[in-house]
């Protein structure tokens, strides 16, 4: 042990005593998260509004914290919530148990479940931290129709998963033809 070692320790103390402290203004100024940050879950939709979740319960089986509860039900022709045979009738994530590991995302075969960058999950009530399907579903975007409704992007569920993402959607084709005089497509004349 050197004679000057205690003075080196005091040197570190005295050098930090006069520095301005770093203060985070958290509620007013939120820091940006990394693009791949694991935050609150989101149940995604197809471009026509049908849910991507087919109620397979693989996410619940993959969850190491047992935080996910899924009850599947069968679609009917009059009430269709997803393009498949089944849909997730009940979907709950208990954020009191969830460790935000992302294993449920990897287990999902239809990419119905993803994680957003939302990290504010604190609450005063334990009941409010059990998110239901309605809270987890992505909001309806422009052109989407709230389920239940018939298939719009093809005749089978395969059409939903194999469709060209750059192809126009049925309501976009209808609006384009309505914009053209006499219903003629672009570049065609009589």
Angstrom distance (rounded) from CA 74 to CA 55? 9
Give 33-141's CATH code, choosing from 3.40.50.300, 3.30.70.260, 3.30.70.3270, 1.10.12.10: 3.30.70.3270
Q: In which residue are the tokens 């393009």 written?
A: 83
* Residue 182 pLDDT: 56
How many C-beta atoms lie closer than 10 Å to residue 148's C-beta? 17
Question: So what's the pLDDT on residue 187?
Answer: 46
Q: What is the pLDDT of residue 1?
A: 64
pLDDT of residue 10: 84
pLDDT for position 190: 38
> pTM for the whole thing?
0.74
- Angular region, 88: left φ>0, alpha ψ -120 to 50, beta rest: beta
Positions in the chain short of pLDDT 70: 1, 170-171, 173-190
Q: What per-residue confidence (pLDDT) applies to 184?
A: 52
pLDDT of residue 188: 47
pLDDT at 75: 93
The dihedral region occupied by 120, where left means phi > 0, alpha psi between -120 and 50, and beta the remainder, is: beta
Distance from C-alpha of 119 to C-alpha of 98, rounded to nearest angstrom: 12
């Amino acid at each position: 042990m050197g004679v000057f070692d205690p003075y080196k320790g005091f040197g570190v103390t005295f050098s930090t005593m006069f520095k301005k402290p770093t203060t985070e203004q958290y509620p007013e100024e939120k820091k940006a998260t990394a693009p791949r940050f694991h935050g609150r879950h989101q149940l995604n939709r197809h471009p026509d509004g049908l849910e991507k979740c087919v109620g397979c319960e693989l996410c619940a089986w993959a969850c190491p914290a047992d935080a996910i509860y899924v009850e599947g039900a069968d679609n009917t022709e009059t009430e269709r919530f997803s393009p498949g045979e089944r849909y997730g009738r009940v979907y709950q994530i208990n954020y009191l148990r969830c460790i935000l590991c992302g294993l449920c995302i990897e287990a999902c075969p239809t990419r119905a479940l993803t994680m957003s960058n939302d990290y504010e999950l604190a609450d005063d009530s334990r009941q409010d931290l059990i998110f239901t399907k309605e809270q987890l579903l992505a909001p309806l975007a422009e052109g989407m129709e709230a389920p239940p409704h018939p298939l719009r992007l093809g005749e089978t569920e395969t059409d939903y998963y194999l469709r060209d993402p750059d192809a126009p959607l049925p309501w976009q084709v209808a609006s384009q033809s309505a914009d053209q005089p006499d219903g003629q497509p672009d570049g065609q004349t009589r």
